[in-house]
Amino acid sequence: MDRVFDLAIIGGGINGCGVARDAAGRGNSVFLCEMNDLASGTSSWSTKLVHGGLRYLEYYEFRLVREALIEREILWRIAPHIIRPLRFVLPHHAGLRPAWLLRLGLFLYDHIGGRHLLPPTRSVDLARDEVGKPLIAGRYRRGFEYSDCFVDDARLVVLTARDAADRGAEIHTRSRAVEIRQADGVWRVTTENTVSGARTTIQARALVNAGGPWVEQVLAAGSGVNARAKVRLVQGSHIVVRKLYAHDRAYMFQNADGRIIFVIPYQGDFTLIGTTDRDYDGDPGRVKASDEEIGYLCDSVSAYLARPVKPADVVWTYSGVRPLYDDGASEAKAATRDYVFELDTPGGAPLLSIYGGKITTYRRLAEEALERLAPYLRSAAPGEDLKAKQGWTGKAPLPGGDFDVSAVAALAAELARNYPFLTPAHADRLVHAYGTRAKKMLGDAKSLADLGRPFGATLTEIEVRYLIANEWALTAEDVVWRRSKLGLLLSADEIAALDQWMKVNIAPGERPLREAGVRP
């Protein structure tokens, strides 16, 4: 235990991994522990959007919306394989928000921050335009179409962690922080491996609590900090149904209760619908979509769609808990989505706790977190200010994202040419998951047989081995629900067979090597 890390981070969601990546890139030694899999909490249960948050304008969250809009295109540029532009149709609903208010909000959305590549808002005649065809005939005649982006949220987390590890960070999954104490001006963090039960203690000059819904439990593990801030747990549930319409646009529907619901083309053959907003009291690890929420989502979209959506149409549900900063808002939908820091220095060493935040603003959150910790972190090199590298994360692509945003289709076509045994759909899926690293994964394969055992839905042994060796995957759930969404296509028996294969084929001793920041 002689080594002292510059920074230890508890929590392997988007905020923790974002801080790890930025800090490692500035030359800090970084240790991150996550009690489950990366992105196994809030970060994989989002609405899958990189967006400004149009509805937040109603709550005068102008700074948050502007920052998110600026980040939207920055993130698209550094991860064009897992982020793509998406056009949203917002029908005008008589009796709810007036058309002039919608126009004003969309004008601000187009102009207050950072839109350079995405197309602007346009008015649409829902009686004539194809985007009006899925709607109830004659009920919605006027609408607006605007831009935001779709993101594979869990892959964003994993690739951020991968880049942090490539830059020297130690990433330890299935490692629960069971005790944090300060001694001699440094933090001592004891972790327990949730698979083997083995305990390890590391030391760090500074500590970041990115526990998300568990942020208060982290503080209770012996930190000596009595937090002033409070977390408000808000449940958001989603449903997935078979594809509802043929075109590629998404919808934003207004509800009479003031909430909005997104309807988004998802994974080719499906449609994603969400989200709910209600306060949650319970174990964040056990949250699931209730029958009431499923019914609410079905009823909400059925008020707009010519073909009603019923609970029997639902093929998958997921639910997550957003750890929002408790600003005293009376309703969950009105609680701020902005992030708040609480910096404590019991005994002199800093502990920075993170409350709230959005996937879209995770990169800026990380920069601000390191600004707060700058007085306590050593310079990256003698005489070099850590701030000298501020902003680097907005320029350096995430793993596999080193190509232009307009070239993703060309990259998929090139992959199909180089590996002619792949179907176009298979090549397209690999490029949208791994970008330029898809070629590294496939290597010298000359035929489908060279990809090893097929597990179904184009998932093969070579891909699973890549995920084990490079992306901390240990179980079938890691592979089919976080590293991909192939769980929508695989049967229960196929997933069980994959899980059994992984249990047999993960070599003893391989996992600690991967998690020590060893470059793949």
The boundaries of every CATH 1.10.8.870 domain in the chain are 405-514
* Cα–Cα distance for residue pair 58/102, rounded to 1 Å: 10
The boundaries of every CATH 3.30.9.10 domain in the chain are 80-150+232-328
> Taking residues 342-349, what's their average pLDDT?
88
- Asked if 478 and 511 count as a contact pair (C-beta separation under 8 A), the reply is no
The tokens describing 321, both together, are 């808990």
> Taking residues 181-199, what's their average pLDDT?
94
Determine the topology of domain 4-42+155-230+337-394 in CATH. FAD/NAD(P)-binding domain (3.50.50)
Confidence (pTM) = 0.94
* Cα–Cα distance for residue pair 198/345, rounded to 1 Å: 29
3-state secondary structure of 392: helix
Checking if the pLDDT of 489 tops 80, the result is yes
Q: Count the Cβ atoms, other than its own, within 10 Å of residue 106.
A: 21
Strands 199-209, 186-193: parallel, antiparallel or unpaired by DSSP? antiparallel
3-state secondary structure of 213: helix
At residue 369, φ and ψ (nearest 5 deg) are -60, -45
**Among positive and negative, which fits the CA dihedral 84, 469, 437, 20?**
positive
Task: Give CA separation, 27 vs 7, 20, 166, 397, 476, in Å.
Answer: 11, 11, 12, 18, 34
- Domain 405-514: give its CATH code: 1.10.8.870
The boundaries of every CATH 3.50.50.60 domain in the chain are 4-42+155-230+337-394
Helix (H) or strand (E) holding 355: strand 351-356
> Taking residues 64-78, what's their average pLDDT?
96
> Taking residues 276-289, what's their average pLDDT?
93
The correct CATH number of 80-150+232-328 out of 3.90.1580.10, 2.40.160.40, 3.40.190.10, 3.30.9.10 is 3.30.9.10
**Strand runs labelled E in 102-198:** 122-125, 142-151, 170-172, 175-183, 186-193
The string of pLDDT tens digits covering residues 361-408 is 999 999 999 999 999 987 545 555 555 577 999 999 999 999 999 999
pLDDT for residue 509 = 45
Peptide bond into 458 cis (omega under 30): no
The string of pLDDT tens digits covering residues 283-300 is 999 999 999 999 999 999
CA angle 116, 122, 126 (to 5 degrees): 150
For residue 319, what pLDDT band results from cuts at 50, 70 and 90? Answer: very high
Beta bridge partners of 325: 231
3-state secondary structure of 280: coil
